[in-house]
Chains A and B, each alone.
Chain A
Amino acid sequence: MYRELKYLLNTITIFAVATLSIVILTLIFIFMISESLPALKSVGSEIFTSFNWYPTYDDAEYGLLTMIVDSFLLTFLTSLVVIPLGYIVSAYLYAYANLREKEIVRSVLDLLSGVPSVVIGSVVLIYIAPVLITFEIWSTENLLLTIIGLTILSLPYVVSLTYESFESVDKVLFESALALGSSRFSALFIVITRAALPGILNAFILTVNRIMGETMVVLMVSGNANIIPKSLFDPLRTLTSAIASEMGEVELGSLHYSVLFVAGLILLIISLILTWISKSIQRSWKH
């Protein structure tokens, strides 16, 4: 009797906790939307169509477009660096590295994946930005440095994921290609990459998601200026850094506060879309 009661209670607990994940996701949605509503109602479409962000002026303007563009631009440029680099490093590990190299690099990757982004931000600021000055570049907070910081941040991530998807392919396919006289590179590039494609695409999407949502590195080294950068040495400002830098100063419940939630809502929706894409890639390949 006691045993059955315990079984029942435990089962109920497990189910209740599991449903919590749905509850949390729903709550996040409800709160993000309800806090955004005042701005969406009273400012309206200007939020998405205007480049002007003067939230503290008497004649306030709440255009997020510059930050939206900057977020995408930064994500795109960083991906352009980090995804090919990540692919090359994983390719080296898979096709060329010996056992020792593999083990060392993978342990280092594991560790690097834990470096907090605020540390990377301060590294770029304190140690890398001064290097630019020796090249006569005087802006020490700019697009280039942000890309560097985000590359350091996301490289371990993209390499681990890409390498894992290579490894998930049966090794005998690689051997079959080699047995036909193929080079190791072609065997990897043509055969393994194709067989691992869903995993690789997934790795890239998760990396993009990570870059898009990163706050601290951008906040610390982007210069936080509400412009669209014209060169690598211009500053910029993303949705994430706008939220982090201004939320501390807004009046709770004001329009400014609400617009920052709209920025968060945009980030939330982007990340959900990316997660959804990643899930459906995996699903479509299973059948």
Chain B
Amino acid sequence: MKKDLILKTIFRILTYSTFLATIGIFLVVIIDGARYFSIDFFIKYPSNAMTEGGVFPAIVGSLILISLGIIFSVPLGIIMGIFLSEYDTLFFIKPIDVALTSLSGIPSIVYGLFGLSLFCIRMNLGTSLISASLTLSLMTLPVIASSVKEAVKAVPVELREAAYALGCNKTEVISKVLLKAAKNRIITSALIGSGRIFGETAPIILTGAVFFSTHLPKSFLDPVMALPSHIYYASMAYGESAQWMAKASSALLLIIVLIIYSIAFTMRRGKIGLDNRGK
């Protein structure tokens, strides 16, 4: 059909050009930024107003943030997801579901404000590692919970019934059968959550990130440097001579996040991992 041929061509051009442009941009970021990678870049502190040195403390800071963030959000997210999937006949599932959906729509900057007022000020934790990672984990909680819910829901009913038939009670079915059967997709959820934590900037500049630090955090109450906030400061606050720093850090952050996401989505498609049920 002629109409289809014309539209197909136009739509294809639009689709291809947006995609190639977007991919092109990110390739440029990685290629252009990776030119500045060196041993020093990974093991040194930034110096001379961000124009020299490396991002060692930012990398370490981000790794600590992500680890703490996961410790809080992953277990809670998994339990919430299981609740939403397995107890969905209860009357108060609805307010909980609504609350979680609302939480997942709240802008990250609002989480930042909340973290600032609750953790930093009210709980007197100050601008610190612990405030930032608590804020990040609150923010990721609904993301993890809703994808765990989908994962657990996807486990075939027969598996549950077989377990009940063997005399398992509900929590045993959950811990012995469902969690194992949905393991891959739960790991995917956790990975997506951590990818999100790793790149999030707005909440941590309010609650725990500093633009410069001469030492690694000595306690949970110390503020940290983190990779995303470092990119922000390096691209905004300093001139041309710090631009390489912003480029290299962006490339690094992008590579790390893309790796996390690739693993996550490859696992979801069942290309690696143990349980290939479902098909």
> Is B truly associated with A?
yes
A residues adjacent to B (C-beta < 8 A):
3, 6-7, 10-11, 13-15, 17-22, 24-25, 27-28, 31-32, 35, 85, 88-89, 91-93, 96-97, 105, 107-108, 110-119, 121-123, 125-128, 152, 155, 183-185, 206, 209, 212-216, 219-220, 240, 243-244, 247-248, 252, 260-261, 264, 267-268, 271-272, 274-276, 278-279
A224 to chain B, nearest CB (A): 10
6 extra A-B contacts, CB within 8 A, seeds A116-B198, A267-B107:
A10-B174, A18-B96, A25-B102, A88-B11, A117-B201, A268-B107
Interface class of chain B by DSSP = helix
- Nearest CB on A from B253, distance (A): 6
Name the interface residues of B28-84: CB closer than 8 Å to any CB of A: 28-29, 32, 76, 79-80, 82-84
* Interfacial chain B residues near A28, Cβ < 8 Å: 103, 106, 110-111, 114
Residues of B close to A244: CB separation below 8 A: 109, 112, 202, 205-206
Which residue of the partner chain, among A20, A123, A125, contacts B25 with CB atoms under 8 Å? A123
Whether A185 and B7, one on each chain, are in contact in the complex, defined by CB atoms closer than 8 angstroms, is yes
Tell which of B3, B113, B246 has the most Cβ of chain A within 10 Å: B113
Q: Are A114 and B192 in contact (CB-based, < 8 A)?
A: yes
Query: Which residues of B sit under 8 angstroms from A35, Cβ to Cβ?
Result: 113, 117
Contact of A14 among B171, B231, B254 (CB under 8 A): B171
CB of B221 within 8 Å of the partner chain: no
Q: A32-B114, A110-B265 are in contact. Are A25 and B99 (CB under 8 A)?
A: yes
| Structural contact, B228 and A116, CB atoms closer than 8 A | yes
CB atoms of B108 and A213 under 8 A apart: yes
Determine if B206 and A247 form an interchain contact, defined as CB atoms under 8 angstroms apart.
Answer: yes
Closest 3 A-B residue pairs measured CB to CB?
A: A116-B199, A213-B107, A10-B171
- The reply to whether B105 and A272 form a contact with Cβ atoms under 8 Å apart is yes
Give 7 CB contacts A-B under 8 Å: A10-B171, A20-B80, A21-B96, A88-B15, A125-B235, A127-B25, A272-B106
Which chain B residues border A15 with CB–CB below 8 Å?
Answer: 83
On chain B, the number of residues with a Cβ less than 8 Å from chain A's Cβ atoms is 86
Across-interface contacts of A111 in B (CB, < 8 A):
258, 261-262, 265
Contacts A114-B199, A215-B202; is A89 near B142 (CB within 8 Å)? no
With A119-B29, A122-B231, A244-B202 already in contact, the answer to whether A206 and B113 are too (CB < 8 A) is: no
Q: Across the interface, which residues of A come within 8 angstroms of B32, CB to CB?
A: 127
Q: Which residues of A contact B100 (CB under 8 A)?
A: 21
Point out the residues of chain B lying under 8 angstroms from A32, CB to CB: 110, 113-114, 117
Q: Does A123 lie within 8 Å of B79, measured CB to CB?
A: no
Measured in the bound complex, the distance between the Cα atoms of B4 and A268 in whole Å is 44
**Cα–Cα distance between A41 and B107 once the two chains are bound (Å):** 25
Partner of B105, one of A85, A114, A260, A275: A275
